[in-house]
Structures are given as structure tokens and as C-alpha cells.
Chain A
Amino acid sequence: QQQVKQSPQSLIVQKGGISIINCAYENTAFDYFPWYQQFPGKGPALLIAIRPDVSEKKEGRFTISFNKSAKQFSLHIMDSQPGDSATYFCAAMTTDSWGKLQFGAGTQVVVTP
């Protein structure tokens, strides 16, 4: 079963708008949560990552928000640009299963001009 649930499956946002992607997990042993961006024909590229001792992390226009009690984390893309159109994956990993990233199903984001 999918250990990381990601929503929505797809998202259309206007240029300049905010894209929000949500992920939820059950395994409280997860302690590393990265986000990846994937363009067609390319491998996933690491965008930003967070650990549970931090509630928010920002890198440029990308922000991760983390809610440990709700077992949820989200990616916000501020001032979305057409070049941000891609598939975004959240992921999680546990300390007792190093190397094994558990991925969400992915969100296809389309930013319209």
C-alpha cells in the first residue's frame, strides 16, 4: 500500500499564482521528507527537503510546511511560472530503512501564461 498519499493528482494554476501540493503519511518513523521535480524525459531533481524538527523551510519560491502532529507536509510554489510546469513528487524515508525513499503518486502541475 502507498505509505505516502499525495494530492491533488493534477493542478492548473495561472502564472503568478500559488501552487499547493499536499502529502500525508502514517509511519511516524519517517524522519526525512524531500520533494522532487520531474520534467518529461528527465529524472527527478531534488527541490527541497525537510526534517521533522522544523515546521517550515523556504528556498526561493518553494516552501515546505510540515505538521508533525497531523502527519502532513505540503509544498507551496509561490509566483508560479510556466517553467514550473512539471510533475512533483513528495517522498519520505525512515532511519531504519536507509536508502528506501517512499514516494507519493505525483502531482502534475500546469502553469498557464
Chain B
Amino acid sequence: EAGVTQSPTHLIKTRGQQATLRCSPISGHTSVYWYQQALGLGLQFLLWYDEGEERNRGNFPPRFSGRQFPNYSSELNVNALELEDSALYLCASSAWTAQPQHFGDGTRLSIL
């Protein structure tokens, strides 16, 4: 069974640009979660999507947004990129609410 897949593996952007990160959940999983892993800040919850709807949001500004598609894949959009957005962005999926979350290997976003 394929795990959670994320693309691209690495993404280099400059300040002010926009970034789009993609995630395909494990087959059969309907919930998708996004986390930011920044140096010194640990793993921070960003967003949770289930059945195409945003269900919960962490303490991040509105320029962090996303969506979930009918096939349950998801994308995370970050607008007006700032240097502090440099981090590993991790996607996780679960079979449904309250089930264990399984992570992909992340997208490394570097802001120059």
C-alpha cells in the first residue's frame, strides 16, 4: 500500500512569491492534515481537511490556505512568502476523524 505522497520534494521561492504544495493521502483515507516543521519551532498544526471541507485551523495567518479535492488529495497554498516560512511542510492522512495520522516525507520550502 502506498503511503502519503507529497510533491515537490523541494521548492525554492523568493520573498513575496506564492507556493503550492501537493499531497496524496493513503488510498481509502478521507482526512488530510498539514503541519509545519520549522527549525526551533517543532511540529505545528496548520490545517485539517475532511470530505472537502476545512475542519480545523492552527495559529497561522490567512495567507496559509488550502483545499481538498473530490479524490481526497489536497494542496497547501502559501501567499506573500516570508523568510520565516522556510520549513518542512508535512502532510498526514487518516482513515477518518480520530484515526491515527500517517505522515508523508514532506516538502522542503526554502525562501530566499
Contacts and interface: CB of A to CB of B under 8 A. Distances in A.
A49 interface: yes
Interface stretch (A12-20, A22-30, A97-105): A97-105
Contacts of A52: none
B interface: dominant SS: strand
B33 interface: yes
Interface in A40-74: 41-46, 49
Interface residues of B, number: 24
B82 to A, nearest CB: 23
Contact of B103 (A41, A44, A98, A102): A44
A43 B104 contact: yes
A46 B101 contact: yes
Contact of B97 (A42, A99, A101): A99
